[in-house]
């Protein structure tokens, strides 16, 4: 906030949007005359965060990530939305919020956790990173990174999936799209290498999950690491809207509730 000395009202500078009686300005452009019908939503979301108009390859990778994260079936986030809608059908916003609030370390939050994990490792080796085609160099860095995480008893985010035990079908597609559009950067290269070397440390092979590769891809687009979960939530909002629409057409929230409630049984607390 700026406080003018001439007695005028304080100023609140923003590089996003402003409006007056006749116009709406967004990102320095006339919303009605220059953006509506000419700018896609994915492009606009990137632009709002980065404060620069993204090029087409960036938009393609970004929108591929949004599609990959939009829905994954009857996840806890979807069930939270459906059951909240069952309880409060007059509050669509509450149902959406309930699902979004469930985006944490086990579901959706992996996107940010993986991006942050990779970014930390890359920052620690800044100026000493392998070349794009030096797979052996990336493998060495990945092995060092996984070993350090194991020594610190930290999980390696982005490994494993509760459903896709062998391969997450999203992962190779997202990697290919990033490569095709010139945005397969150090985060994705390190993540790929983690996938190749982690069995040497962990003693078992786990798939690189889609949420993790999404985090790596978003980080390679230069997006703020602390906002990566926000992009996952942006994507999942579309999926939750789909669940709400289906709940209106063919409700199953009551069935889920009754299935649990009617099959609950009392057990005495431990020690009784």
What is the rounded average pLDDT for all residues in the chain? 94
Tokens 């950067």 -> residue: 185
% residues pLDDT > 70 (the chain): 97
Mean pLDDT of 171-184: 97
Alpha-carbon distance of 50 to 222, in angstroms, equals: 8
pLDDT for residue 179: 97
Do residue 89 and residue 158 come from a single domain? yes
pLDDT class of 77 with cuts at 50, 70, 90: very high
Q: Helix 186-202 crosses helix 135-151 at what angle (to 10 degrees)?
A: 60
Round to whole Å and give the CA distance between 196 and 207: 10
* 18 and 91 fall within a common domain: no
Q: Are residues 47 and 80 in the same domain?
A: no
Asked if 22 and 60 sit in the same domain, the reply is no
The domain of 22 spans 12-54
Looking at residue 103, its pLDDT comes to 86
Instruction: Give domain status of residue 4, yes or no.
Output: no
> Are both 133 and 29 inside the same structural domain?
no
Confidence band of 86 (pLDDT split at 50, 70, 90): very high
Three-class secondary structure of residue 40 per DSSP: coil
Give the closest residue to 54 by CA, choosing from 64, 65, 70, 42: 42
pTM: 0.92
Mean pLDDT of 83-91: 96
Same domain, 35 and 68: no
**pLDDT, tens digit, 9 for 90 and up, residues 223-272:** 999 999 999 999 999 999 999 999 999 999 999 999 999 999 999 999 87
Looking up tokens 């978003």 gives 218
- Is residue 34 located within the same domain as residue 82? no
CATH number for the domain spanning 150: value is 1.10.230.10
pLDDT of residue 10 exceeding 80: yes
Domains: count for the chain: 2
């Amino acid at each position: 906030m700026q406080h003018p000395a001439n007695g005028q009202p304080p100023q609140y500078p923003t590089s996003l949007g402003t409006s007056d009686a006749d116009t709406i300005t967004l990102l320095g452009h006339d919303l009605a005359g220059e953006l509506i019908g000419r700018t896609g939503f994915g492009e606009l979301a990137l632009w709002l965060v980065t404060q620069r108009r993204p090029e087409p390859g960036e938009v393609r990778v970004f929108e591929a990530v949004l599609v990959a994260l939009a829905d994954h079936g009857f996840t806890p986030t979807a069930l939270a939305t459906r059951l909240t809608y069952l309880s409060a059908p007059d509050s669509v916003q509450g149902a959406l919020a309930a699902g979004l609030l469930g985006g944490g370390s086990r579901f959706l939050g992996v996107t940010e956790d993986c991006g942050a994990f990779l970014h930390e490792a890359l920052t620690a080796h800044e100026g000493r990173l392998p070349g794009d085609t030096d797979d052996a160099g990336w493998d060495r860095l990945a092995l060092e990174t996984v070993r350090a995480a194991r020594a610190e008893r930290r999980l390696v985010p982005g490994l494993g999936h509760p459903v896709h035990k062998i391969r997450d079908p999203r992962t190779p597609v997202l990697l290919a799209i990033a490569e095709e559009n010139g945005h397969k950067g150090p985060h994705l290269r390190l993540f790929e290498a983690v996938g190749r070397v982690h069995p040497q440390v962990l003693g078992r092979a786990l798939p690189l999950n889609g949420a993790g590769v999404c985090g790596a891809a978003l980080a390679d687009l230069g997006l703020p690491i602390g906002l990566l979960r926000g992009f996952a939530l942006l994507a999942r909002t579309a999926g939750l809207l789909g669940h709400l629409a289906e709940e209106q057409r063919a409700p199953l929230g009551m069935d889920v509730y009754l299935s649990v409630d009617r099959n609950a049984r009392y057990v005495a607390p431990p020690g009784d």
